[in-house]
Amino acid sequence: METETETDTGAAPSRSLQNHRGTRAIQRMVEFAPSTGGLALWVRHHDVNGSEAPAIAANDGTSIFYGPGFEGLPLPVQVGLVAHQVLHVALRHPQRRDALARLVGDVDPQLYNLCADAIVNSTLSHLSWLELPAGSVLLEDLLSASLNLHQGVEKSLLEWDLERLYRAVDDRKWSRASFRGQRRGKGNERNSSSGDNGGPEAEDGTAQAADRERPAADGQCAARARYLADRMIADLLPAADAEHPEAEAEQSREWRERIVRAHAGDGVHSMLRELLADLPKVRTPWELLLRTQLARGLSHQPDLSWSRPSRSYVANQGRIGGRRMPWEPGFSTAKAVARLAVMVDVSGSIEAPLLGRFAGEIEAITRRLEAGAVVIIGDERVTAVELFEPGRSNLRDIRFNGGGGTDFTPLLQEAERHAPDIGVFLTDLDGPANYRPAFPVLWCVPVAHAAMPHPFGRKLVLD
């Protein structure tokens, strides 16, 4: 995109608004709703020209882009558009689309954009000092037309968050041919959040041309919703920070705090109305949970030593008040090297970026805790066992075949032979575990299989 002017206030609120196409609208927002209107000062603003410019305005979850057509609109409509885009950014709608796609596998961009717009439009519809563009869909209208659910705007905003609304509206049906060769329960659906509505790929990694070009058939709810979307302005671009999911939790926490403070500051004049259900979700990253669990399991615990006395026994020379003290053992200063067992189910399907993040965390944890690692690879049987020094492993080189059978029992039994302090099992949980080892087990599962039950130990969802 070609950028003419830019206001970059991502680090802290700007003290003065620079000149871009949305400046007058932001000034009006701050005048009527100082706190919630001031959320615009935490957003980057870009004027864009050329073929890649949006028709009017769009956002990528971090920045708002203004096309040439924005300047010709009346000021109240400009205010409505800027407030609309600011709430998309504050509520993390583009980032949440990626998270939803990782969970359900396929997200229709038009339906998702419609659901996000409906929530934002109803949030702003009570304000008299701005005007929503023609064709704007309200949440209560979408619920009535698509789901045949009739309820007021206040109740709707209190009950419906974006993810729940999208799941209710999207009742598309894929043809049976689209799933040819797909293993049941495997998370290899195509992510269409950026506009690709093709079906899942075939087992060999290539899609049949006919299946790739044929979209899923709309159910009744999706068809009625898509009729409402005909006049909608598609304004959700791919998330700008999609390649850095580890920062998502912190950004969501910051935006949630800003929204809550701003809403309290403006009171009845708030742009946020009764918007509570759709606030950004604050979630602890799985990397932090993995570090915590493994640090507890691999930490060195001092052992009692009956061959040497405790410090208090030595200090009192073994006597108190002229009487001999009972023997009190001390602690051994020698420490055994902690060991981590990493078991990997290669019959599943793990995406390369997720495997890279998982491998990096394992290497960092073993290096920091000075722990050795034994990596056990297999499906129905153990196919490879390797021992590694702290901070070294070959997890990034693992290749997943997908679609094969799985039995956790041989891998757990092999891990028991190495007497680890704790075990980590990277799997989709699609298989039996007929053996429970003495060491604790942490089951690391991709988000597409988060609903699968784990046989024992604890489950950690990797998203």
Q: Which stretches of 181-247 are DSSP H helices?
A: 209-213, 220-228
Residue range 339-462 in CATH 3.90.1660.10: no
pLDDT band at 303 (very low <50, low <70, confident <90, very high): low
pLDDT of residue 186: 40
Both tokens of 153, joined, read 């705007």
CA distance 205 to 291: 33
pLDDT band at 85 (very low <50, low <70, confident <90, very high): very high
| pLDDT the model gives residue 196 | 44
Q: What is the mean pLDDT of the chain?
A: 80
The confidence score (pLDDT) of residue 179 equals 41
Write phi, then psi, for 411 (nearest 5 degrees): -70, -40
Residue type, 202: A
Mean pLDDT across 330-336 = 61
pLDDT at 415: 93
In terms of Cβ atoms closer than 10 Å to its own Cβ (0-12, 13-18, 19+), residue 295 is middle
Residue 290: per-residue pLDDT: 80
328 C-beta neighbours (distance < 10 Å), count: 15
pLDDT tens-digit series, residues 197-211: 444 444 444 444 444
426-440: average pLDDT: 90
Q: Which of 158-162, 193-197, 373-377 has the lowest mean pLDDT?
A: 193-197
For residue 7, pLDDT beyond 50:
no
Is residue 374 classed as helix, strand or coil in its secondary structure? Answer: strand
For the ranges 23-32, 154-163, 233-242, 391-400, the lowest mean pLDDT is seen at: 391-400
Query: What pLDDT, on a 0 to 100 scale, did the predictor assign at position 217?
Result: 87
Window from 66-80, 94-108, 159-173, 174-188 with minimum mean pLDDT: 174-188
Among 54-63, 107-116, 386-395, 396-405, the minimum mean pLDDT is found in 396-405
CA triplet 120, 123, 126: central angle to 5 degrees? 135
DSSP state of 385: E
pLDDT at 332: 65
Q: Where are the domains of the chain?
A: 2-172+218-283, 302-334, 339-462
How sure is the predictor about 243, in pLDDT bands with cuts at 50, 70 and 90?
Answer: low
pLDDT in tens, 339-356: 899 998 888 777 777 788
pLDDT in the model for residue 115: 95
pLDDT value of position 177? 45
Q: pLDDT at position 93, please?
A: 95
- In this structure, what are the phi and psi dihedrals at residue 349, rounded to the nearest 5 degrees? -140, 105
How confident is the model over 100-146, as pLDDT tens digits? 887 777 899 999 999 999 999 999 999 999 999 988 999 999 999 99
Nearest of 180, 161, 94 to residue 122 by alpha carbon? 161
pLDDT, position 18: 65
| Least confident window among 49-63, 194-208, 224-238, 344-358 | 194-208
Q: How far apart are CA 415 and CA 204, in angstroms?
A: 32
